[in-house]
Amino acid sequence: MKEKLAGILVIAIVFLSMCAETPEEKKLTVSKFVFCTGVLQNGEYTPRSNSEFSAGENIHIYFELEGVETKDNSVSLKWDYLKIYKSGTLTDEKYNVLSYDQSFDTDISYVWMSKPIVVTEPGNYEVEIKVIDNYTGKQVTAKESFKVTGEIVTQTPPPTSAPEEKDIDVTYYYFLKVPSATYHLFGNIYENYVDVEITNNGSEKIRAKVEAQIMNFTDASYQTVDIPASQKITVSLTPPLMPNALDTLSEQKRTNFHIKVTYIESGEEKLVFEDTQSVTMLAKRDMVLWMQNFDFRDNIAAWVTPNDPSMDQFFSVAKKYMPGGTFAGYSEDEEGVLNQLEKIYYTLKKEYKISYLSTPNFRIYNNGEEVIQRIRFPSETLKGGTGNCIETAVLFASIFESLGMNAVIILRPGHAYVGVETQNGSGYYYFIETTMLGNEDVSFYDAWDYGSSEFDEDSPHLNNNEEAYRAIFIDDCRDAGISPIEG
């Protein structure tokens, strides 16, 4: 499910490092705890050297954790509470400040967290925090002091509070991680990126306006709706990606998701709700298979790119293996189709010298947990000359689809291979084990035999609709609206 939030502003970011401790050495500690005037999204901060602030000034609490447990390069933390004391007396306390789950491509050395507060009354203060590592159950608490000087500031209630004359509730659901490569599928074959539930508890109809934006990566998206008295309406939005946004995402990047709800009265917009949350833009090459209990495995079809210029370049090389220099797809009979498959296989083997690159942690299904794989595009596999099972499978599928042939990608636990229909609509397929490309002693017919034996083993599981197995028919995915990734 999407995450449910209603007005909490917290930022948590993980710094990456190749330095990793062994499990025996790990002890959860707060290695740094400072008060700042500002914290950036990349973890840089501006500390106040004497920890002294003016009344009403924005104070950022910043701390770093070491010894955080990782599983498959992921962390799971709970910022359990935040307490503020003035001269030893508890003045404010917040619980369940943040539950934070994040995955990364490399090991982590420390995690940092930050939250802004405002104190309006001068005095000597102390902040106490408690954080729990969900993977181990280890807990850590820490305290640090700061001082507030100046005159008492009368604080105006924040504009995010609902106006007294209107009784409106707002709850929204969104994705903590944004699949950038397949973002174009949100609001198309999948639900929208954010769903906003607005409840009008009043006795009169209201007109509400919803605005949503992923900062630095999308334009703002708006929708205006009329909500009858005592009714709830859901507004669903997918803010459009900015031009060339994908080109900037060679790696994951942290940013903010901003949402704003107003109601319109006498032509004037009045604020009902506003919130900002930290989100992760996934890298362009991050293939999302499972996320927040959604099955995105059919999105593999988006990595099949038959119209990429690299396909034309491939056939300009491959044509010398074909009599007449032409690949005719289904214009040939089954024997002619098989002959084309053989020539495709040998072009990749001899001309492009594609070899298999093992990915030990490759997963297709993991009991509903998040599964995100870093995948090369077919053009990159052709250029680089290596690929794992899913990368070579989408490469073959791209070549087949460019010929108008019907490809299928079969997923089994820890592995993927490709098939192509023998004739259009026949319902029978040739299956190929693509990882054999780099073995000089293996012929196309060996790879075909091996792929056929794999499918014989997998058929009972596929027929039983077991979740660890999947047949992704590319033509069906296209009919469903899963289009190739562009660029």
Q: What is the pLDDT of residues 309-330, one digit of tens each?
A: 999 999 999 999 888 889 999 9
Domains and CATH numbers, the chain: 3-149 (2.60.40.10), 168-281 (2.60.40.10), 290-480 (3.10.620)
Would you say residue 16 has pLDDT above 60? no
What is the per-residue pLDDT for 361? 67
What is the per-residue pLDDT for 163? 41
- 22-36, 95-109, 236-250, 251-265: least confident range: 95-109
Question: Do the Cβ atoms of 163 and 202 come closer than 8 Å?
Answer: no
Instruction: Give the tokens for residue 457.
Output: 């083993």
What is the per-residue pLDDT for 429? 97
Sign of CA dihedral 197, 202, 207, 209: negative
* Alpha-carbon gap, residue 313 to 305, rounded angstroms: 13
What is the per-residue pLDDT for 13? 35
What is the per-residue pLDDT for 3? 47
**Exposure string (b/e) for 259-293, b if CB count within 10 Å is 16 or more?**
bbbbbeeeeeeeebbbbbbbbbbbbbbbbbbbbbe
Cβ-based burial of 158 (10 A; exposed 0-12, middle 13-18, buried ≥19): exposed
For 259, the enclosing helix (H) or strand (E) is strand 253-265
Would you say residue 106 has pLDDT above 80? no
Instruction: Give the tokens for residue 137.
Output: 């159950």
Would you say residue 15 has pLDDT above 60? no
Instruction: Give the tokens for residue 8.
Output: 């909490």
* Alpha-carbon gap, residue 17 to 109, rounded angstroms: 6
Q: Which of 260, 254, 248, 251 is nearest to 194 (CA)?
A: 260
- 53-67, 101-115, 463-477: least confident range: 101-115
What is the per-residue pLDDT for 487? 58
Mean pLDDT (whole number) for 161-182: 80
Mean pLDDT (whole number) for 227-241: 94
Regarding predicted confidence, which is higher, 294 or 214?
214
pTM over the 0.85 mark: no
Distances (CA, A) of 361 to 12, 225, 358, 467: 26, 46, 9, 18
Alpha helices by DSSP H, listed for 385-443, are 389-402
CB atoms under 10 Å from CB of 113, counted, come to 23
Would you say residue 149 has pLDDT above 50? yes
SS3 326: coil
Cβ-based burial of 195 (10 A; exposed 0-12, middle 13-18, buried ≥19): middle
* Alpha-carbon gap, residue 11 to 395, rounded angstroms: 39
What is the per-residue pLDDT for 367? 67
Predicted confidence (pLDDT) per residue in 277-305, tens digit: 889 999 999 999 888 778 889 999 999 99
* Alpha-carbon gap, residue 45 to 41, rounded angstroms: 9
What is the per-residue pLDDT for 164? 45
What is the per-residue pLDDT for 295? 86
Helix axis angle, 309-318 to 389-402, nearest 10°: 80
- 68-77, 268-277, 428-437, 468-477: least confident range: 68-77
Q: Which of 86, 138, 87, 140 is nearest to 113 (CA)?
A: 140
Would you say residue 21 has pLDDT above 70? no
Residue type present at position 305: T
What is the per-residue pLDDT for 111? 84
For the chain, give the percent of residues with pLDDT over 90.
57
Mean per-residue pLDDT over the chain, rounded? 86
* Alpha-carbon gap, residue 33 to 96, rounded angstroms: 19
Would you say residue 447 has pLDDT above 60? yes
Question: Do the Cβ atoms of 302 and 485 come closer than 8 Å?
Answer: yes
Would you say residue 348 has pLDDT above 90? yes
Would you say residue 213 has pLDDT above 50? yes
Mean pLDDT (whole number) for 97-120: 76
* Alpha-carbon gap, residue 453 to 462, rounded angstroms: 14
Residue type present at position 294: F
What is the per-residue pLDDT for 366? 67
For 36, the enclosing helix (H) or strand (E) is strand 29-39
What is the per-residue pLDDT for 334? 94
Question: Do the Cβ atoms of 210 and 261 come closer than 8 Å?
Answer: yes
* Alpha-carbon gap, residue 415 to 277, rounded angstroms: 36
The pairing of strands 355-356 and 386-387 is: parallel
Mean pLDDT (whole number) for 339-357: 94
What is the per-residue pLDDT for 158? 53
Residue type present at position 320: K
Distances (CA, A) of 41 to 47, 180, 264, 445, 478: 15, 19, 33, 53, 38
